[in-house]
Structure 1
Amino acid sequence: MSEERAADPLAYRVVLPIRDTTSAEVFDQSRAVLGNWLSSKGYPWSPASGLSSVGDGTTLSFASTYRDDGTQQGMRAQLTEVEPEQGRTWRTTVTAARPEHSTAGGIRAWVAVELECLLEPGRPWPRTNPPRLIRELVERLPVDDAGIAVDAQPLRVGPRQVAELVDVLCEPDRALPVLVAVQPSQSSQSSQPSQSSRSSQPEHEQWERELGRLARRVCGVAMVYHLSPEAAAALNRELTFHGVGPGSVRTFLTGVDPASAADSGRHRVMSFQRLRQDPGPAYRILTLNGHTPALRRPLPRTLGADAFPEIDPAEWSRLRGAEESARKTVSLDADAGATLSAELRTTSLALTGAVRQLERLESELRHERLRAQELEVQYQQADGRADDEVADHDHTTRQLSFAEQRVRELQRRLSAAEAAEEAWRSIELDDDPLSIEAFLDLLGGLPYVEFSGRRDDALELDDHMKASTWAAKAWRAARALNDYAHRRVEESYDRNFREFCLTPPQGVYTVSANQVALRESDSVASHAKMRAQRELPVPASVNPTKKIFMGAHLKLDHKGTVSPRLHFHDDTGGATGKIWIGYLGPHLTTTLSN
């Protein structure tokens, strides 16, 4: 058992956002599922608050909280099962709560299930299975992730549903991983030798059984889609760099960039051969692909301090009442005898001290839990950035390898054509800018691109560690815009910039088409404050008001709180024949960040 595993007893965590139902229905269904689960384990169940023994070495605590208007705010049940012979204690916690205020995502309530294993020193970490009640909760409640229905079973996808699946994979607000599994084709089955232990069952039936088992194990933390070979072929045409082969399973994390070869490295593929030859470990890895992000994701505050204060207000009232009663008793019995009076006074002082200590500890605990939540968020952001950097590094390494091979082949051909001197002649190469300031200075060398924005906004980006990366991306984007504008002005190119990047002419700079947005959403464009932020400076020759709405923008990053954007106006068909960059800086306000 690793030190990390020993230090963290959390084995499973499932957090379910509930939208299309009432909070009362969420609490009713959660109590019903909890009761069914406890009964299946042979434990009695009563929704009365308090701590009770329900078996040998097993306790159940249950608590409900209510608002001032009498409506339920939250409920929490915790089953603790002690296994002394194995030196471990299992603790399963089920929490349901509704937000104090309405949320931007329309979430009516949250339900969470956590399984912890507390081990004695030196004990090995046991193999764990997700509690069965998770599946029943998902089946009973309308769980969804950014408007995508979350199901307990694999969702079948045919060719007609592929467009919807692409929307699911590319949904920017999706939080859960998506496991896309493609049914084995006849050829892939026949090309593999049979295993005698499984030869009695047709290959596709065995595969579907394993897929159903996988869906049960990742229920609530990932979504599983089952594609026919025909649907897979249609998907692979849509996602050139993110294909899934027959019999394989691909784990799509969040932030899918379908136009980026570099991004494809983040979304790992489990091959049919691996699944067939070593199914146990292979499916465990796929299960971890679903559960690992869920363990790292912090609990919504709604499920913690908002619904369940660290010490219940009623308990504080009882303690303070006992303290006051003790003081009065000491006062009334002051003449009853020196010994009794001294004992009562000592008891009163001890109780007062205990209350003060509890108050201090409760304050410290609240502070530490808030700090822990902050650290969890920071860890998740850092972990996401690390995944992106690994994928970018893999892509850069592949691109470098391809470029080196291409150069060697061209040199070989030139040498064979008796142009060896030309093949090995040194040439001067341009370096990418290492800062945003250097990028702005370089822009003056591009004849078809001008910067008309506030320089100070752009220079804010130089305060961040990724400034050199953003500067290089901005420089590539500017050169792509310059090549595009040149084609538009000089060669009558009649497509927009995104199409230019999707199907580029030979010898031009481009960026991933997924970085390009030619318009803002209607909710942003129609919002007075957000629209005003995008009314950006241009010369009077572009617009007499010297400002113009720039909805078109390039995404220089899609992770983190800064997520820089480059907003531009295409005037290649206007008086100046140029691209005007009106803003470079941190992501402007949207409906999600407002």
Structure 2
Amino acid sequence: MTQFYQAVLRDGGPRLGPRLRRCFAAWAGVDDTGDPDFEHARGRTRTAFADNEACGRYTHDGPTGDGRLRTTATWASGRKGAPGWVRVTVEGDLEEAAVTAPGFMPAFLATGRATDGAVPVEAGPLLVGPEEVKELTGWLARADRGVPVIVLTVDRSDTNLVAACADHLAETLAGIAVVVRLYDARTQDDLNTWLGGDLSVFGGGLRTYLSGVRPGEETYPMRHQPRGGGAIRDQGVRSLEVVVKGVVDLSVHRPLPTDIRQTEPRVARILAGALPPGELHAAPPSPAAIAVPRGPRIPKPAPPSEPKTPAPELAPEPPTPALESEPELATEPAAPQPETDDLADDIAAKLADRLDDSVLEALVDMARGGDSETTILIRTMSAHLQALTRAVESTGLLDTSATDSAPGNAADQELERLRKQYEQLELDYTELQEHERKAQDRIRWLESRLAEHADPVYGIRHDTDPDGCWEAESLMDVVQRARKQLRHVDLPDTLDTEVSKLDVMYPRQRRRWTGRTWDALRALDAYAEARAEARFTGGFYDWCARPLPGAPVITPTMVSMKESDSVSGNPKYQRRRVFRVPEEIDPSGRVYMPSHIKLQQVGSPAPRMHFLDDAGGATGKVWIGYLGDHLPNTRTN
């Protein structure tokens, strides 16, 4: 599903959950009973509430246009008096949708004093006079501000138009922007004095200020987009569509704070009863704690017993009238059960069979710092997730075009349970991947420290980040960071289209790819540096199989230095793998790049990163030609 909207708020007010639930239920049009686990269905629209004293999650899923939209509000109380947090998302299976803030957001913001962690986020526009300009400039300058601040100036010809535009922006961008309307011309002049000529706003126009405004030091002032007063006067509220779209798109790519990213996966487990509410802010759970529990085994029917020696014949007794109908009742066949009734049991049995005692021991070993067992565990969890996915997809239960059924239908309930279990397995798998990345990075750092103290086992010392591996929220973040930090890897701007497509179209899967992409780029950079300095001989696959001690690597199974014969021998497929390079590598400026890194082995999408290894050549770099979904081959076409 594509994510269209995301709001991340801090709220330290009392009774956070009940306030959010009340507003959500009123917007969804549901008579909420207040039960900790309550669901309501009307036709193809379903609303679900699940909460307790520590956290909660409310969802509203319904048809819209040619597809569906799902609005989810997740909340959790803060740790030791800290403000709680709320995350609201809107996702759908539509190719394009003009999605704005859900209707309950202004009502919820009006119940408390929410912030984005740095500045207050109000239900309506803020009217700022000369006395509040200093506070406003403080908001604009804060680098930790997550939401943009939209400032509307005075229009002497039509003051009502500015007020109407401010109200419209505050409603459609509730929770993801701060809307400010300047009181008079003096306020505008005071603000522009601080902003300077490059960042000023005037003439009935508006400007969207991103975080960290630096008057006189901005290298690109147009990152704070203006909207002229003439366009607003001519088109009215319609001229604000470009502003709304820009802010909504910005909210989707806003990275989650670390504490929310770590806490949110536990919310689902707490609501499902797998964790007590007190574990919401506990230390990261061991992998054994988040493993799928072994369910009770369903006894299989006993095989028919061997025929015994017949007993001596006795004189037959005449049947009594009361027993004449019993043979018919005993031999009547049972009604067939729906095929979906046994699906959950079959999946649970498969998972239980794979999660045997040896795997649980491996989970415990990983929690204690074991490295070899960690790799085995990740592969096991991956196999479980793929098996569950294939089992669910093979039933056709996920077909949203199916006809409507009654809310109490057993198949619908089973579908919802399987969907929640699948989503939880995805979260658990992603969390385990992050633990494995951090463990590997820590091992490399420890090896470099041992090498620093002249331990001959670990060879020479390498500069490794002692603060742990970096966690990105999107693939574009990875690309931008690589362009700034990795000197021996070149990533052209042409990558951005396909990279952004993965970020936007698959928001829930992208976190699974970001760590692998960053690790792969770091490994390529370290390899190219060592190769250019003649400290290593061989190709990138050799580097991953036998790297220098403490150097960044990826699993060799992720690396493929060639394409299959069916691709290399087909001009149509080969052309799709030709990418740009500098003329010192090839005079034509383009070469065929069969070498690639598999960011996801199987599935759809299965992102790939194609590259050209010129580390030992004229440029001494690795050139990235493509980063996106799997390019066409005989299986995709």
> TM-score scaled to structure 2, two decimals?
0.46
> TM-score scaled to structure 1, two decimals?
0.49
